[in-house]
A = this chain, B = another copy of it.
Amino acid sequence: MKEVLIFGHKNPDTDSITSSLVMENLEKKLGNKNVKAVRLGNVNKETQYVLNYLGIEAPELISSVDDNQEVILVDHNEASQSADNINNAKVLKVIDHHAINFATSTPLYYRAEPVGCTATVLYKMYKENDVEIDKKIASLMLSAIASDTLLLKSPTTTEEDKKVVKKLEEISGLDISVYGLDMLKSGTDISDYTPEQVINIDCKLFEKGNKKFRIAQVNTADLDSIFKNQAYYEKAINDDIKKENLDLYVFAATDIINSNSKIISLGNDAPVVEKAFGVSVDNNTAMLENVVSRKKQILPNILNNLE
């Protein structure tokens, strides 16, 4: 019998990779042996730090699923973010924490909560099913929450995430503010990346009416190392604007130590960020104090001010 595949979204982040591994563990503990975590893209440096630290192999890489393949989706639900051919697969379960844009013709198990991380939902599923969480699984979940909530400092963080982190710190023996910061810092190492590669580490396309725009985000512990190369970044961004016919491109370098973001805003609608964030743009850049979340802060403010 073919295995049920478990995977997170394309361009996987730490939550997508670890939650597929955690869900595989939970399913097996519940007696569903025929399941396998896989991934839809390269393991990023932050996630590699987690896997190395715990001595865990990365899940196998796949890009598409066969017709009628049984799958479990974690950390996403939209077909555009999922495996190629997902619309011909059979989705058995979805465990997620994002907005929903999903349709099936048969009932399924769907569990989403408005919390900071998929791992927080998974933690609750272990509890409900009375399944023990071992040290490695707790460490994987802690890593995911540290990553998605930037050490519980992002405005996406909920009280539930905080409670779960306390429990996971006890089981794993890890301190999120120490281990998590090391993990985040590993993810910020862009020394061997070109500006083109950096802006594509975590870049999402959005649309409003007939406007098309991208918001790229990269975490850093050293804003200067990025902005000393501002001219190269602007060239990479302007190339993308031309190629994709974009009205706006916002590149946010998010300082994980000081919890703010310095942005580069380009394109015909670049001035929108002045109104969106109450800042003055100087030399195409602006500092956004206390802004760290694309989902909760950058995107909604741009959407509300783009005309």
A residues in contact (CB < 8 Å) with B:
97-115, 124, 127-128, 295, 299-300, 303-304
Contacts and interface: CB of A to CB of B under 8 A. Distances in A.
B101 A107 contact: no
B107 A99 contact: yes
Main SS of the interface on chain A?
mixed
Given A124-B128, A128-B128, A107 B102 contact: no
A125 B120 CA distance: 16
A111 B114 contact: no
A228 B100 CA distance: 47
Of A103, A110, A114, which is in contact with the most chain B CB atoms at under 10 Å from its CB? A110
A110 B110 contact: yes
A186 to B, nearest CB: 27
B103 A107 contact: no
Given A111-B111, A124-B128, A128-B124, A300 B106 contact: yes
B106 A99 contact: yes
A278 B144 CA distance: 50
A105 to B, nearest CB: 5
Nearest to A102: B100
B107 A98 contact: yes
A99 B105 contact: yes
B114 A112 contact: no
B112 A108 contact: yes
Given A128-B124, A128-B128, A106 B101 contact: no
A114 B103 contact: no
Contacts of A109: 112-114
A122 to B, nearest CB: 14
A148 to B, nearest CB: 12
A114 to B, nearest CB: 4
A69 to B, nearest CB: 18
B111 A100 contact: no
Contacts of A114: 106-109
